[in-house]
Amino acid sequence: MTMSKFRNVNTLIAASAIIFFSACSSTTSADKDMTKPEGIKAIKEKVVKSFGADKKVYSLSFSAADHLSNEAGSATIHYLENGKDMSQTLTLSPEEKLQNAEPALVQNEFLLSKKQGSIAVKDLNFDKIPEKLNEAFKLISDEYEGATLHNWNFDVDNSNKLSENFTIEVSKVGESSERKGRMVISNYYEFGFELDESGKVKARD
């Protein structure tokens, strides 16, 4: 399969340049590694404990702490409460902290009408993620390396049908970061994937 759709992103990092380099070179702790079964299990346990096992959500996503990193950075849920569209974020790195729930900036009947489905947090299947990532990694050309999971999204439609999509970041073989004064310029490339109705990984349009 040829992957032709990707975004080339130039990351400009000034004051955080040293932090960026240390994040790329350090080892991700086992309980925050989004690509390993033990990491995914630990992340779900933190999510369930923080948001509540029976919390009904129409969307849950988690993302990396940085670009080209497998370390979990945060998890966010979206849900309806008393007729309002709400969200809440659990920060996972550098330290764990549950943020206060906040209403969406835009609240109207049209948008709310598209968010009537829900699923309990405990019923979201995190276990398959490492396997599906490995399937996606194999679909990426050999001209890229260092594949990492940047984000994974669970979404529920009004019929309570669950859909999942995720983004993988990679670097190109032979490319390296450039330092310009206090600024570091790094290239990373994004590939989008989703699971079809049978659970098979396919490139996202």
Instruction: Report how far residue 100's alpha carbon sits from residue 87's, in angstroms, rounded to the nearest whole number.
Output: 9
Stated pTM of the model: 0.84
Residue 34 in any domain: the answer is yes
Residue 20 in any domain: the answer is yes
As a whole-number percent, the residues of the chain with pLDDT over 90 amount to 77
- Domains identified in the chain, total number: 1
Beta bridge partners of 164: 154
pLDDT for position 25: 41
Structure tokens at 192: 């989008």
Residue 113 in any domain: the answer is yes
- pLDDT category, 10, cuts 50, 70, 90? very low
Residue 1 in any domain: the answer is no
| 3-state DSSP assignment of residue 143 | coil
Q: Domain residues for 171?
A: 7-203
User: Is the model's pLDDT at 186 over the cut of 90?
Assistant: no
pLDDT for position 30: 86
pLDDT for position 195: 98
State the average pLDDT for the chain: 87
Residue 175 in any domain: the answer is yes
Mean of the pLDDT values across residues 129-146? 95
Distance of CA 194 to the CA centre of its chain: 12
